[in-house]
Structure formats: structure tokens, C-alpha cells
Amino acid sequence: MSDQIFFSSTDNTPMYSQIMEHVLARVLIGDWRPGQALPSIRELASASRVSVITVKRAYLELERTGVIVTRHGIGSFVADTQDLPRQLAQEEFDTHLLGMLRAANKLGMPAAAVTEVVHNSLASELTAAVPEKQATKRK
Amino acid sequence: MTTLETPALKVRGLQKNYADFALHNIDLDLPTGQIMGLVGANGAGKSTIMRILIGLIKADQGSIEVRGYRVPDGQVAIKREVGYVSDDMRLYKAQTLRWHMDFIKSIYPDWDEAYAGQLLKRFDLRAHQVLRGFSHGQRVKALLLLILARRPKLLLLDEPTTGLDPVARIEVLEALAEVLRDEERSVLFSSHNTMDVEQLSDTITFLHQGRLVASQDKESFLSSWRRVVCQGQCHDALLERVRAMPEVASARNSGSIIELKVRDGGDIFQSRLQQLGLTITTVEPMNLEDIFVTSVRAGGSQ
């Protein structure tokens, strides 16, 4: 009975992407392991009080991003791939990068200025991050 | 023979004329196992359509099939397999809910007593209370219980959530969601509350003044409409050119900021805006209510 999606009442994110997020979270946490069967579309829809077509769309998108695999007539399963977290981090990076470029555009920053800012903050980030790493190693 | 492939509803060219209202050329398709939400303002024709489907009113024109049975020839089978709930249905005020349950049970062999018991609990109703003492919300829930416990294959629910308090509304929606667990059962429900429809429906049908404004599966509906905000030197000629684009259902500006509501806000549309010298700042999805109001105001169907 615990397989149900919790929806936000204030978040404007479409329901299908909230479903995707929920499934992803449960895969990343390890509730659902690679190869494990997911609840059927109809089951999950009914339990979450959302239409079948919405869950279907979420599953299709999850399939496209490689999080799950669907075997026709059998059901959907968590994909066996191990590099899921990396892929997600990559997506997050791309989104932020795009956001930064847009903001730079708003400010009218030339390309050289953008790369310089990135370069400088990378340098300060790295010098800040390195000793921290060494400190944890020593422990 | 009714199978999973038989559509729950197939309506073509439905026409009904009254002195001061008419239904114009209505087509509806509801595959078995799906939920369709019928959205429209008061007086749009939602109840008239439901009454025609269940055979309470005769259509002037058009072909109507309910679970594969033609209306009105298949009346008997339709009444057995379809459950219809509407606010104007009367219950016997002097009798208890239990009396009503036994009455329905004696007519319909498919009555599910265990399910009726579950619904009593879910709806927080007392079987031995006489109907006179029921509040509006309790009366609606009692009606739903009496219909749901028959386990009809198709539910026609005319404004099942109207006038309910938030708690009762959720209880009713939960009971509806449970129906969808069974892939043989289908639901057509009407509402002027788009929020109720948005969550549960597979297909959305917009009705306005007796005409079908749109009928589409919900996901493609929600994913095609976009609110686009852009900036640029805004003059009347530009605004006219933007309004003339077929995708644009509404366009307004406040100084150099222009807000558009479009039926298909994909990349092609966006690049055309950029060619007009506009800078796009926001592209976001719209909720069903906004889509409904926008398409009704734009006046056209797609």
C-alpha cells in the first residue's frame, strides 16, 4: 500500500514530472533496486489519485532517460545501469549552465567576461576545496 | 458482446435543439478503462449530454453508442451497466440509507455488499439514519454509494463534487480513483471545477454554449499549451502580427513586456517570435483552468 506518489499542492511542476521525481528518488535511495519491478501504471495511478495517462507519460519519460525499462505485457522495471546518478548530475549541470548563460545575456556580458568569471570562481573554489579534502584524509 | 476494445462511449454528430439552447454536432470518444472530464460553465450543456447518454432525453440527431449499445435501442442493457448520478435525483426522505441500499440491491444482482460497507466507512455515513437528516454533502455521498456499490461498468457523474466541502470532495475523488483500478470500468464526469478534472482525467473535453471547444487526452493538452512572456519594442503593428499567428490564442502587452497564450509553443513558434525581434524570457505550462478560459475567450476550436 506504500507505493503512492505524494503531490505538492503549491508546486507548479506538472504532475508527470512530479511522478518522475518521486520514482527517481526511490531508485536513488535504493527503495527500488536495479531490475526490480515497479508498480503497474494503473495501480500507481489509482493509489495516487491521478489519471492513468499521466503515470503512463511519466513512465515513458523515465524509460527515455534510461531510468526504467518496460517489457511489453510484463511491466516496468528499474534499469540495470549503474551510471544513473552521474547522468542526473550531468543534467543538473546542463540546466544550471543554461541558466547562467541566460543571466549573462541579460547583463549583456561578452563571452570573454563570462569565461573569466567562471575561471576565477573555479580557481577560488578549488583552492578552498583542496585543503578540505586533505583534512578529511588525515582523519 | 462488450469487450475491452468496445469504447465506453462513441458519439457522433449529436444534436439537440431547445427554444433557447442547443447542442451542436457533439462528437465524443471514451475508450474503456479511461476517465473523461467534461468541463464547462453552467449552461454549457454538460447535464443535457449526460441525460441523453443515459436515455432520459432523446437526441434530435446523431449516433450514440454506450458500451457498444445503440441509444435508445439498447436502453435495458445500458441502464443495467451504467450508473448515473446527478444532483437532481431524489431519495426518500422518510427512509434510511439502509432501506435505499436494500432497495437497489433487490433490483441489481451485481450489488456488492462488502464494497457498500467500505464506502459507508469512507464517506462517514450512517446506514440507519433517515435521509431527511442528511446534509447536502452526505446526500451526494449517499447517492454515489448507491450507484458505486452496483459496480457499474460506466459511471456518468453529473457534477459529483459541486457544493461539497473540501473533505467530502477528497473522499469522493478517492472513491473515483479506486474505480480506475479496474481496467474494465470507465467514468465520464462533469465539473466546472477544473482542478478536480485535471488530476483524475485521461481525456479532457471542453464544452461552451452547447459546442465542443476541444476534446483531447490530458497530457498532450497540457503539454501543447504554453504561456510565453517576451520583451521587445512593442507597437500596434507588431502586436497585430503576433495575434495573427495561428498558435496565438491571446496576446497582451504592458509596455515592452508581452504575454502570449499559445496552443503550440514549441521551438518553431519560439524562433518565429525571435524573428520578429522579440526576446523570450519565460515559457511555462498553463493549468487547465487557464487553458479553458483562454480557449473559450479565443472562441475557436482547434
pLDDT tens per residue across span B127-185: 999 999 999 889 999 999 999 999 999 999 999 988 888 898 989 988 988 888 888 89
Inter-chain residue contact A53 with B219, CB threshold 8 Å: yes
Contact residues, chain B to chain A, C-beta under 8 Å: 33-35, 173-174, 177-178, 180-181, 183, 199-203, 217-219, 222-223, 284-285, 287
Q: Residue B301 pLDDT more than 70?
A: no
User: What percent of chain B shows pLDDT beyond 70?
Assistant: 98
- Comparison of pLDDT for B302 and B208, the residue scoring more: B208
Nearest alpha-carbon partner for B291 in B229, B215, B230, B238: B215
Give the pLDDT of residue A125: 77
| Cβ-nearest to A45 among B180, B284, B287 | B180
The rounded distance, in Å, linking the Cα atoms of B14 and B51 is 13
Give the pLDDT of residue B205: 94
Beta bridge partners of B32: none
Q: Are B291 and B208 in contact (CB under 8 A)?
A: no
Preceding peptide of B72 cis, ω within 30°: yes
| Helix (DSSP H) and strand (DSSP E) numbers for chain B | 11, 14
Mutate to test the interface with B, among A51, A59, A60, A61 (most CBs of B within 10 A): A51
pLDDT tens for B77-106 read 999 999 999 987 889 999 999 999 999 999
The rounded distance, in Å, linking the Cα atoms of B213 and B154 is 24
Q: Residue B76 pLDDT more than 50?
A: yes
Give the pLDDT of residue B59: 94
Inter-chain residue contact B219 with A43, CB threshold 8 Å: no
Inter-chain residue contact A46 with B33, CB threshold 8 Å: no
Inter-chain residue contact B33 with A15, CB threshold 8 Å: no
Give the pLDDT of residue A135: 46
Inter-chain residue contact A14 with B222, CB threshold 8 Å: yes
Residues in chain A: 139
Say which residue the cell 436494500 belongs to.
Answer: B102
Give the pLDDT of residue B180: 84
All three cell numbers of B10: 462513441
Q: Residue B108 pLDDT more than 50?
A: yes
All three cell numbers of B299: 472562441
**Chain center to CA of B10:** 15
- CB pairs below 8 Å between A and B: how many? 50
Give the pLDDT of residue B157: 94
**Angle, alpha carbons B206-B86-B68 (nearest 5°):** 70
Long-range Cβ contacts of A35-42 (<8 Å, 24+ apart): A35/A77, A35/A78, A35/A80, A36/A77, A36/A78, A37/A75, A37/A76, A37/A77, A38/A68, A38/A75, A38/A76, A38/A77, A38/A78, A39/A3, A40/A75, A40/A76, A41/A76, A42/B180, A42/B181, A42/B183
pLDDT band for B196, please (50, 70, 90 cuts).
confident
| Cβ-nearest to B35 among A43, A48, A51 | A51
Give the pLDDT of residue B245: 92
From the number of C-beta atoms within 10 Å of its C-beta (0-12, 13-18, 19+), residue A63 rates as middle
Give the pLDDT of residue B2: 64
Q: Residue B5 pLDDT more than 60?
A: yes
Q: Tell me the residue ranges of DSSP E strands in B108-182.
A: 154-157
The rounded distance, in Å, linking the Cα atoms of B190 and B188 is 7
Which CA distances in Å does A72 have to A22, B33, B217?
Answer: 23, 18, 22
Inter-chain residue contact A50 with B173, CB threshold 8 Å: no
Inter-chain residue contact B199 with A12, CB threshold 8 Å: no
Closest alpha carbon within chain A to B219? A54
Contact residues, chain A, for B35 at CB < 8 Å? 51-52
**Chain center to CA of B44:** 12
CB atoms within 10 A of CB B231: 15
The rounded distance, in Å, linking the Cα atoms of B134 and B266 is 51
All three cell numbers of B227: 504561456
Ramachandran angles phi, psi of B97, nearest 5°: -65, -40
Closest alpha carbon within chain B to A103? B281
Q: Residue B119 pLDDT more than 80?
A: yes
Nearest alpha-carbon partner for B148 in B131, B167, B125: B125
With a CB-CB cutoff of 8 Å, which residues 12-41 of chain A face chain B? 12, 14-16
pLDDT tens for B23-42 read 999 999 999 999 999 999 88
The rounded distance, in Å, linking the Cα atoms of B7 and A71 is 26
The rounded distance, in Å, linking the Cα atoms of B259 and B126 is 52
Give the pLDDT of residue A133: 46
Inter-chain residue contact A50 with B199, CB threshold 8 Å: yes
Q: Residue B201 pLDDT more than 50?
A: yes
Q: Which residues of chain A have pLDDT under 70?
A: 1-2, 82, 84-85, 127-139
| Helix (DSSP H) and strand (DSSP E) numbers for chain A | 5, 2
Inter-chain residue contact A49 with B199, CB threshold 8 Å: yes
Nearest alpha-carbon partner for B34 in B150, B154, B145: B154
pTM (2 d.p.): 0.81
B178 to chain A, closest Cα gap in Å: 6
Mutate to test the interface with A, among B180, B215, B287 (most CBs of A within 10 A): B180
